[in-house]
């Protein structure tokens, strides 16, 4: 056994920094966190043995500052650096600066990083290594006209891609020859702005494809293995949303030939450490190389779940010079695993990032079948400075169907309040018949949600949700009755009548109690079971004769807010005798504030970026509000015209105070 490192610096933040820290701890290695101003109180700082502040909240002032990270290494005596993903993980300059400082980079060699970081170079290298690549033109394009004439040869649809691209940026599909010029120009502009490198190339656009990637692992002694595949076809804007391992599409032969080609490519760049070779796979199971990511991938946990390996541990062992302890035939493919990326974003507002404080945060319990990789806890801030990922939720099952059930249950149990999040969307995807039957392709989301996602359209189970609200009310009423008469035990009535009022209609609910069992009758429907809930708790566990279901409960005044199968409903439950009087009560009409921009929190108005009369586009910045030392950028939710600006920079705002008003006509 080689001596592993005494101390590793983790050049990252959030969930991946926490995840790396855990593997280091298991190996008995001390850890050093680096952190920005915004992250001073974050979980990754707490989990590491030491922590060094490296600068301002913007990544460019902290996590991307090679000089400051080198200082932190000097200061703490760390012998190696794990870069995680994002930030400096694929920066060969960083790898070389570490080498000069005599510090080990836990990742591949600089040559592999440099070649694979360039899509044109890596595609050429893949071709020469005998790896199947997407048909197209090998070199950077000189002009839009050249793109058009090549598109004619290749045949539309084609894809225009930035050579320096990543994270789904700098990519355009041209369905017809007429789209090619525009596609080339916009891919080139985006590439110039995002990567400072405007080289664009062209290849065939593979229709209805699947994204299937191979995890490779290599040591410094010439041993290179593939750790099976991951399917990442559920994407939005070319970014992965749900991943799984193995792929429901691959047979043993295709798996082996993709694995062997991935290994051949890794060998061609003398690869060591963990890396991922991404392929696009067409409906005939023909596969084509897309790119190689020379780092740990966001979705690596699904591979860990089916192989039983810890990829971070393997990377550390390889970096320390160990020989891989296993051979290709030892690599397991045990059961099935899914990963959902839980994001702070609003699925109802075109997935706009949502920032703020996690006022309530209760992840599902970790177990052999559920893993939650996160960098946050209750009270953490989701800031605008970094990726808005809250957590990666990972499940395992013997079969694909079991792993889906485990994921659905874990999503039902995930309580997040304070920011908008995509759990309703993830739940809807998991419940989709095509998803369940494994009929995936990269256009899945666009095909099935052509007009975007609306959480109001999630079917949920309204009867169950209403029954839950009613039982919560009853449990609370019964407890109150008992507590108010503590001296004498009070016999609880075995039957109670309640009513719910909705859209001017009153529906009667009758609850019958038999020990712990409550039976709710709503019209002709009857739901009977044990309702595990205590006043104040945010989860309710319903056990019926054939299932156990988790619902979420939140109380606001008279209203019970119940989350059931990804759907949120509000129910006002009244005792039966009061319900009879409800039709005589005036209805409270909520004012329509949709033409107003309101301050989402108490804070200081830093600036207003628009004037009365301005036309604004959805997503455009309207104003910035500072609260708790954090700047919150308020953006337009839709196109419109500003009618009046009601507040000015320097004003101190209450929550829901009007900042500006839009023209009604635009509503």
Active site residues: 291
Q: Does 303 bind ligand ADP (CB under 6 A)?
A: no
Q: Does 576 bind ligand ADP (CB under 6 A)?
A: no
> Quick count: other Cβ atoms within 10 Å of Cβ 393?
26
Cβ closer to ligand ADP: 300 or 496?
A: 300
Among 293, 383, 465, 550, binds ligand ADP (CB under 6 A): 293
Q: Does 532 bind ligand ADP (CB under 6 A)?
A: no
Cβ closer to ligand ADP: 389 or 645?
A: 389
Q: Does 280 bind ligand ADP (CB under 6 A)?
A: yes
Q: Does 215 bind ligand ADP (CB under 6 A)?
A: no
* Min dist. Cβ of residue 485 to ligand ADP (A): 54
Q: Does 460 bind ligand ADP (CB under 6 A)?
A: no
Using CA atoms, how far apart are residues 21 and 304, in angstroms rounded to an integer? Answer: 16
Residue nearest to ligand ADP (CB): 86
* Min dist. Cβ of residue 95 to Mg ion (A): 20
The string over 483-516, giving b where at least 16 C-beta atoms fall within 10 Å of a residue's C-beta and e elsewhere, is eeeeeeeeeeeeebebbbbeeeeeeebbbebeee
| Three-state secondary structure readout of 543-600 | ECCCCEEEEEEEEECCEEEEEECCEEEEEEEEEHHHHCCHHHCCCCCCCCCCCEEECC
DSSP string, 72-134: HHHHHT--EEE--SSTTTT-HHHHHHHHHTT-EESS--HHHHHHHTSHHHHHHHHHHTT--B-
Closest by alpha carbon to 388, among 342, 445, 455?
342
Q: What are phi and psi of 167, to 5 degrees?
A: 60, 25
Q: Does 76 bind ligand ADP (CB under 6 A)?
A: no
Q: Which bin fits 531, alpha (ψ -120 to 50), beta or left (φ > 0)?
A: beta
Q: Does 206 bind ligand ADP (CB under 6 A)?
A: yes
- How is residue 153 written in tokens? 């040869």
Among 65, 211, 220, 408, binds ligand ADP (CB under 6 A): 211
Q: Does 274 bind ligand ADP (CB under 6 A)?
A: no
Find all residues with CB under 8 Å of 399, minimum gap 6, and list them.
335, 336
Residue 648: burial class (beta carbons within 10 Å; 0-12, 13-18, 19+) = exposed
Using CA atoms, how far apart are residues 348 and 423, in angstroms rounded to an integer? Answer: 12
Residue 109's binding partner among Mg ion, ligand ADP, none (Cβ under 5 to 8 angstroms by kind) is none
Applying the rule CB under 5 A, the residues between 253 and 292 that interact with Mg ion are: 278
Strands 7-10 and 80-82: parallel
Q: Does 62 bind ligand ADP (CB under 6 A)?
A: no
Cβ closer to ligand ADP: 14 or 107?
A: 14
Cβ closer to ligand ADP: 133 or 223?
A: 133
From residue 515 to residue 534, the character string flagging contacts with Mg ion as x (rule: CB under 5 A) and all else as - is: --------------------
Piece of 158-166, 191-199, 548-556, 609-617 that binds ligand ADP (CB under 6 A): 158-166
DSSP state, residue 646: -
Q: Give the up-direction half-sphere exposure of residue 321: CA atoms within 13 A in the CB hemisphere.
A: 6
Compute CA distances 164 → 145, 148, 199, 211, 262, whole Å. Answer: 21, 21, 7, 20, 21
Piece of 146-154, 258-266, 288-296, 557-565 that binds ligand ADP (CB under 6 A): 288-296
How many residues touch Mg ion under the rule CB under 5 A: the total is: 1
* Min dist. Cβ of residue 467 to ligand ADP (A): 39
Cβ closer to ligand ADP: 85 or 596?
A: 85
Q: Taking the mean position of all CA atoms in its chain, how far away is CA 612?
A: 37
* Min dist. Cβ of residue 119 to ligand ADP (A): 6
DSSP string, 507-546: EEEEEEEETTEEEEEETTEEEEEEEE--TT-SEEEEE-SS
Cβ closer to ligand ADP: 126 or 653?
A: 126
Residue 442: burial class (beta carbons within 10 Å; 0-12, 13-18, 19+) = buried
Residue 203's binding partner among ligand ADP, Mg ion, none (Cβ under 5 to 8 angstroms by kind) is ligand ADP
Residue 458's binding partner among Mg ion, ligand ADP, none (Cβ under 5 to 8 angstroms by kind) is none
Applying the rule CB under 6 A, the residues between 125 and 144 that interact with ligand ADP are: 134
Cβ closer to Mg ion: 148 or 240?
A: 240
Closest by alpha carbon to 572, among 628, 502, 523, 657?
502
Q: Does 86 bind ligand ADP (CB under 6 A)?
A: yes
Residue 562's binding partner among Mg ion, ligand ADP, none (Cβ under 5 to 8 angstroms by kind) is none
Residue 261's binding partner among ligand ADP, Mg ion, none (Cβ under 5 to 8 angstroms by kind) is none
Among 107, 108, 165, 640, binds ligand ADP (CB under 6 A): 165
* Min dist. Cβ of residue 130 to ligand ADP (A): 19
Among 159, 311, 573, 579, binds ligand ADP (CB under 6 A): 159
- How is residue 175 written in tokens? 């369905």
Applying the rule CB under 6 A, the residues between 362 and 391 that interact with ligand ADP are: 387, 389
- Grouping H, G, I as helix, E, B as strand and the rest as coil, residue 52 is strand
Among 39, 291, 412, 569, binds ligand ADP (CB under 6 A): 291
Cβ closer to ligand ADP: 219 or 387?
A: 387
Q: Does 166 bind ligand ADP (CB under 6 A)?
A: yes
Residue 285: burial class (beta carbons within 10 Å; 0-12, 13-18, 19+) = middle
Q: Does 427 bind ligand ADP (CB under 6 A)?
A: no
Q: Does 442 bind ligand ADP (CB under 6 A)?
A: yes
Contact predicate 24/4, CB 8 Å: no
Using CA atoms, how far apart are residues 246 and 257, in angstroms rounded to an integer? Answer: 15
* Min dist. Cβ of residue 5 to ligand ADP (A): 23
How many residues touch ligand ADP under the rule CB under 6 A: the total is: 28
Using CA atoms, how far apart are residues 213 and 292, in angstroms rounded to an integer? Answer: 9
Q: Does 160 bind ligand ADP (CB under 6 A)?
A: no
Cβ closer to ligand ADP: 158 or 470?
A: 158
Q: Does 85 bind ligand ADP (CB under 6 A)?
A: yes
Q: What are phi and psi of 574, to 5 degrees?
A: -120, 150
Contact predicate 542/554, CB 8 Å: no
The residue ranges that bind ligand ADP (CB under 6 A) are: 14, 85-86, 134, 159, 165-168, 171, 203, 205-206, 209, 211, 235, 238, 240, 278, 280, 290-291, 293, 297-298, 387, 389, 442
The residue ranges that bind Mg ion (CB under 5 A) are: 278
């Amino acid at each position: 056994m080689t001596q592993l490192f005494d101390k590793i610096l983790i050049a990252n933040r959030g969930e991946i920094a926490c995840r790396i820290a855990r593997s280091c701890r298991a190996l008995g290695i001390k850890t050093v966190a680096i952190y920005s101003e915004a992250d001073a109180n974050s979980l990754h700082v707490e989990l590491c043995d030491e922590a060094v502040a490296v600068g301002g909240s913007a990544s460019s002032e902290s996590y991307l500052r090679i000089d400051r990270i080198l200082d932190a290494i000097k200061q703490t005596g760390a012998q190696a650096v794990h870069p995680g993903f994002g930030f400096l993980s694929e920066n060969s300059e960083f790898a070389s600066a570490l080498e000069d400082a005599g510090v080990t980079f836990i990742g591949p060699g600089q040559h592999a990083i440099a070649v694979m970081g360039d899509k044109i170079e890596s595609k050429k290298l893949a071709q020469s290594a005998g790896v199947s690549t997407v048909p197209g033109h090998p070199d950077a394009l000189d002009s839009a006209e050249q793109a058009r004439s090549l598109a004619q040869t290749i045949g539309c649809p084609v894809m225009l891609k930035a050579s320096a691209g990543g994270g789904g940026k700098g990519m355009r599909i041209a369905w017809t020859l007429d789209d090619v010029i525009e596609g080339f120009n916009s891919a080139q502009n985006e590439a110039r702005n995002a990567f400072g490198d405007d080289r664009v190339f062209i290849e065939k656009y593979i229709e209805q494809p699947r994204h299937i990637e191979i995890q490779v692992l290599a040591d410094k002694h010439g041993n290179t293995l593939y750790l099976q595949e991951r399917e990442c076809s559920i994407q939005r804007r070319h970014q992965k949303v749900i991943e799984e391992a193995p792929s429901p599409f691959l047979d043993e032969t295709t798996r082996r030939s993709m694995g062997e080609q991935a290994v051949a490519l890794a060998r061609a760049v003398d690869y060591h450490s963990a890396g991922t070779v991404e392929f696009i796979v067409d409906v005939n199971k023909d596969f084509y190389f897309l790119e190689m990511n020379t780092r740990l991938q966001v979705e690596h946990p699904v591979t860990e779940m089916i192989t039983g390996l810890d990829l971070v541990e393997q990377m550390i062992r390889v970096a320390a010079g160990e020989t891989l302890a296993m051979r290709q035939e030892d690599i397991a493919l045990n059961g099935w695993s899914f990963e959902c990326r839980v994001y702070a974003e609003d699925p109802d507002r075109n997935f706009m990032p949502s920032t703020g404080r996690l006022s309530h945060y209760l992840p599902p319990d970790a177990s052999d079948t559920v893993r939650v990789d996160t960098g946050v806890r209750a009270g953490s801030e989701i800031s605008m400075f970094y990726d808005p990922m809250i957590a990666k939720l990972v499940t395992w099952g013997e079969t694909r169907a079991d792993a889906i059930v485990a994921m659905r249950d874990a999503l039902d149990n995930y309580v997040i309040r304070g920011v908008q999040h995509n759990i309703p969307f993830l739940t809807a995807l998991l419940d989709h018949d095509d998803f369940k039957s494994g009929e995936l392709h990269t256009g899945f989301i666009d095909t099935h949600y052509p007009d975007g996602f609306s959480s109001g359209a999630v079917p949920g189970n309204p009867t169950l949700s209403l029954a839950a609200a009613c039982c919560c009310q009853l449990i609370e009423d019964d407890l109150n009755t008992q507590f108010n008469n503590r001296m004498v035990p009070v016999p609880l009535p075995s039957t109670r009548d309640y009513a719910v009022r909705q859209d001017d209609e009153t529906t009667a609910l009758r609850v019958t109690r038999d020990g712990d069992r409550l039976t709710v009758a709503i019209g002709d429907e009857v739901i009977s079971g044990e309702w595990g809930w205590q006043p104040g708790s945010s989860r309710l566990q319903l056990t019926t004769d054939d299932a156990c279901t988790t619902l979420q409960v939140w109380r606001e005044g008279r209203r019970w807010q119940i989350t059931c199968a990804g759907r949120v409903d509000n129910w006002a439950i009244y005792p039966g005798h009061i319900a009879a009087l409800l039709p005589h009560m005036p209805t409270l009409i909520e004012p329509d504030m949709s033409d107003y921009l309101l301050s989402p929190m108490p804070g200081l108005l830093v600036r207003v970026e628009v004037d009365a009369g301005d036309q604004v586009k959805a997503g455009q910045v309207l104003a910035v509000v500072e609260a708790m030392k954090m700047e919150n950028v308020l953006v337009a939710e839709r196109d419109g015209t500003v009618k009046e600006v009601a507040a000015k920079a320097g004003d101190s705002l209450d929550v829901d105070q009007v900042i500006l008003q839009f023209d009604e006509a635009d509503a």
